[in-house]
């Protein structure tokens, strides 16, 4: 028997129509060098129509890919709306990939138009000669970027001029909800980047999940500050969720330093902000130094992308009165898949413990742990295995079938290793490729880093496995000290010894200026291992 319900497709066009119609007075506010600029969602609706008309005029049809090479700002939001709503596919290029990787993803996705911010044209211009699919480049922002880009092959136009020439009505086509709306490449820390293609349906359902109270609880009264880039896993879905909820959006553009972020929080009073732990760590040490920023508007700081140290959660709470909510996800999972919201009935101590896990799955996402031999492990808080996930906003393949062994009986193999307790909370101990195996037993680099970061003299710490003749591998701790502080590794090691088993304690220590970062701001342990292999780290051995 069929239901009697209407078959209205879940689409980006319907999110845009709702935001610009029902919440037309709400605003997107973007940072610029000259201060802030604002546009209402009603204007975003009109400008998205103008952008769609301009893109049609540039020859964009069907499922052509339209790429963005952009910061988080109003124009990026307009592309988020216009490109999928017109039936084309938005490809958000990670501006921090290497030149070779950017060339690779542009060609792999066969981008036809690239919307680039003027400040980023020097990165893009040299690649255009090797990008035959690109017919046009559209420049946002000021300066002489349009002139600089001319002569590289594609047609070059200025965004504002293109939009000014168009009307503000577009006949948004009916799309099938399962058709492609947007794509994003993984940052490719190993091998070439792999494409994940989101559907209208998956973006819609993911946004709804973000808005639920058990999710991020985004509502009409919120002001959302996505610091996580819109080129990285759709800024964790915050822009679409804010449009759906009618929440204001605060966009930091390129001003991502702790000082600029703190000022935006102080002046613009967001209620929710999302960023990786390294950003929040910087913000914390900045506000510690300055001490005049008011963070009281924030009811929630969403943090994920890598493990959130307990010390960070506690410092935010104690020093700024702000709740940090840890979330787990991947580009492949849209990305919100689990959220560490403690159970309402848990006693305080247990609740705090729950908040330091990677969280429980959001309704729609299922998780399981799988052993090396493929058997499914119990959720008993003990058994450790690879995490597999499935659900309506989890990818079932990579674009053009790359890396098929990442999929297993309809589940995505995440490459993350951990355990799940009886309450359903996931604790990751490592990424499969970062696991340290000492004498056949696993040492959790994530847990060591988490504890080390809690030492008062330590700003941040990364732990990697290094070859050892006796134990195959042993942990090496690379530590960044707080500004102006000095401490002997022996002292940190003795402190660590009170909290982890003896055989976990690193014998090798190195003090470094900064932990190297990947294109999305995570610890680049591959590079750290290479530094070690090349003898570039100055090591102290503490027995
Ligand atoms: P990349 O794979 O290039 O780092 P993603 O942003 O898709 O790009 O990264 C997803 C990975 O980030 C996850 O597989 C996991 O290893 C890590 N991650 C995400 N959130 C968390 C978290 N809260 N705690 C620990 N690791 C996390």
CATH number attached to the domain at 39-197: 3.40.50.12780
Residue 98: count of CB within 10 angstroms of its CB: 10
Residues 6+ apart with CB under 8 A from 215: 209, 336, 339, 362
305 Cβ below 6 A of ligand 1: yes
Residue 7, φ and ψ in degrees, nearest 5? -100, 45
94 Cβ below 6 A of ligand 1: no
Give the pLDDT of the chain (543 residues) as one tens digit per residue: 999 999 999 999 999 999 999 999 999 999 999 999 999 999 999 999 999 999 999 999 999 999 999 999 999 999 999 999 999 999 999 998 889 999 999 999 999 999 999 999 999 999 999 999 999 999 999 878 888 888 878 999 999 999 999 999 999 999 999 999 999 999 766 678 999 999 999 999 999 999 999 999 999 999 999 999 999 999 999 999 999 999 999 999 999 999 999 999 999 999 999 999 989 999 998 987 777 789 999 999 999 998 999 999 999 999 999 999 999 999 999 999 999 999 999 999 999 999 999 999 999 999 999 998 999 999 999 999 999 999 999 999 999 987 788 998 999 999 999 999 999 999 999 888 888 988 878 898 998 999 999 999 999 999 999 999 888 899 999 999 998 899 999 999 999 999 998 999 999 999 999 999 988 788 999 999 999 999 999 999 998
SS (H, E, C) 481-518: ECCCCCCCHHHHHHHHHCCCCHHHCCCEEEECCCCCEC
CA torsion sign for 503, 508, 510, 516 is negative
CB 491 within 8 A of CB 348: no
Active site residue 287: no
Active site residue 332: yes
| CA gap 505, 373 in Å, rounded | 29
- Residue 431 CA: which ligand 1 atom is closest? 16
Q: How large is the C-alpha radius of gyration of the chain?
A: 23
Is 423 buried (19+), middle (13-18) or exposed (0-12) by CB count in 10 A?
A: middle
C-alpha of residue 327 to centroid of ligand 1, in Å: 10
Please tell me the predicted confidence (pLDDT) of residue 520. Answer: 79
118 Cβ below 6 A of ligand 1: no
Please tell me the predicted confidence (pLDDT) of residue 189. Answer: 61
The rounded Cα 479 to chain-centroid distance in angstroms is: 24
C-alpha of residue 366 to centroid of ligand 1, in Å: 17
3-state secondary structure of 408: strand
Of 193, 305, 394, the residue with max ligand 1 atoms within 8 A of its CB, to mutate for a pocket test, comes to 305
Residues 6+ apart with CB under 8 A from 81: 12, 15, 16, 44, 45, 48, 243
Give me the catalytic one of 406, 442, 493, 507.
Answer: 442
So where are the chain's domains? 39-197, 436-541
| CA gap 404, 396 in Å, rounded | 10
Please tell me the predicted confidence (pLDDT) of residue 153. Answer: 85
Ligand 1, atom 12, residue with closest C-alpha: 305
CATH number attached to the domain at 436-541: 3.30.300.30
Give me the catalytic one of 33, 161, 433, 437.
Answer: 437
Please tell me the predicted confidence (pLDDT) of residue 433. Answer: 84
Active site residue 177: no
331 Cβ below 6 A of ligand 1: yes
Residue 80: count of CB within 10 angstroms of its CB: 28
Q: Closest Cα to residue 180, out of 403, 8, 12, 404?
A: 12
pTM of the model: 0.91
Distances in Å between the Cα of 176 and the Cα atoms of 10, 53, 111, 344, 427 are: 8, 21, 21, 39, 37
Q: Which residues is 218 bridged to in the sheet?
A: none
Ligand 1, atom 26, residue with closest C-alpha: 306
Please tell me the predicted confidence (pLDDT) of residue 518. Answer: 86
C-alpha of residue 419 to centroid of ligand 1, in Å: 16
CB 434 within 8 A of CB 445: yes
Please tell me the predicted confidence (pLDDT) of residue 411. Answer: 97
Active site residue 442: yes
- Residue 189 CA: which ligand 1 atom is closest? 3
Please tell me the predicted confidence (pLDDT) of residue 143. Answer: 78
C-alpha of residue 335 to centroid of ligand 1, in Å: 9
234 Cβ below 6 A of ligand 1: no
Of 301, 306, 336, 425, the residue with max ligand 1 atoms within 8 A of its CB, to mutate for a pocket test, comes to 306
Please give the full DSSP string across 185-217, using - where no structure is assigned. Answer: E---SSSS--EEEEEHHHHHHHHHHHHSTTTT-
444 Cβ below 6 A of ligand 1: no
């Amino acid at each position: 028997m069929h239901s009697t319900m209407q078959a209205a497709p879940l689409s980006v066009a319907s999110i845009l129509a709702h935001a610009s119609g029902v919440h037309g007075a709400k605003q997107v506010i973007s940072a610029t060098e000259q201060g802030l600029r604002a546009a209402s969602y009603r204007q975003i609706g009109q400008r998205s129509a103008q952008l769609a008309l301009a893109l049609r005029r540039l020859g964009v049809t069907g499922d052509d890919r339209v790429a963005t090479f952009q910061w988080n700002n109003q124009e990026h939001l307009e592309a988020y709306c216009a490109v999928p709503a017109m039936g084309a596919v938005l490809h958000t290029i990670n501006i921090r990939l290497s030149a070779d990787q950017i060339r690779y993803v542009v060609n792999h996705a066969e981008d036809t138009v690239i919307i680039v911010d003027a400040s980023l044209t020097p990165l893009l211009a040299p690649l255009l000669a090797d990008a035959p699919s690109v017919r046009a480049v559209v420049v946002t922002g000021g300066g002489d970027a349009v002139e600089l880009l001319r002569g590289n092959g594609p047609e070059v136009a200025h965004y504002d001029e293109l939009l000014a020439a168009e009307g503000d009505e577009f006949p948004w086509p009916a799309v099938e909800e399962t058709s492609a709306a947007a794509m994003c490449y993984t940052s490719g820390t190993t091998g070439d980047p792999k494409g994940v293609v989101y559907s209208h349906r998956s973006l819609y359902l993911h946004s709804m999940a973000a808005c639920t109270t058990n999710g991020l609880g985004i509502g009409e009264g919120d002001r959302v500050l996505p610091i996580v880039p819109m080129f990285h896993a759709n800024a964790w879905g915050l822009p679409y969720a804010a449009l759906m909820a009618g929440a204001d959006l605060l966009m930091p553009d390129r001003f991502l330093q702790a000082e600029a972020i703190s000022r935006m929080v102080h002046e613009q009073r967001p209620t929710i902000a999302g960023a990786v732990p390294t950003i929040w760590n910087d913000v914390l040490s900045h506000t510690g130094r300055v001490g005049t920023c008011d963070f009281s508007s924030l009811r929630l700081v969403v943090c994920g992308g890598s493990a959130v140290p307990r010390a960070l959660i506690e410092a935010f709470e104690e020093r700024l009165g702000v709740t940090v909510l840890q979330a787990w996800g991947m580009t492949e999972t849209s990305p919100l898949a689990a959220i560490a919201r403690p159970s309402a009935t848990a006693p305080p101590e247990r609740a705090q413990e729950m908040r330091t896990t990677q969280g429980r799955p959001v309704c729609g996402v299922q998780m399981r742990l799988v052993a090396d031999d493929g058997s499914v492990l119990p959720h008993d808080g003990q058994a450790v295995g690879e995490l597999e996930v499935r659900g309506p906003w989890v990818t079932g393949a990579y674009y053009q079938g790359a890396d098929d062994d990442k999929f297993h009986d309809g589940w995505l193999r995440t490459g993350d290793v951990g355990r799940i307790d009886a309450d359903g909370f996931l604790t990751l101990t490592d990424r499969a490729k970062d696991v340290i195996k000492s004498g056949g037993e696993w040492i959790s680099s994530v847990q060591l880093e988490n504890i080390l970061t809690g030492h008062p003299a330590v700003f941040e710490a990364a732990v990697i496995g290094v070859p050892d003749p006796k134990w195959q591998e042993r942990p090496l701790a690379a530590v960044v000290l707080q500004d102006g502080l000095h401490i002997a590794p022996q002292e940190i090691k003795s402190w660590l010894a009170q909290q982890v088993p003896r055989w976990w304690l690193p014998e090798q220590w190195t003090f470094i200026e900064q932990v190297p970062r990947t294109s999305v701001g995570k610890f680049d342990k591959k590079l750290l291992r290479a530094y070690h292999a090349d003898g570039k780290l100055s090591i102290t051995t503490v027995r």
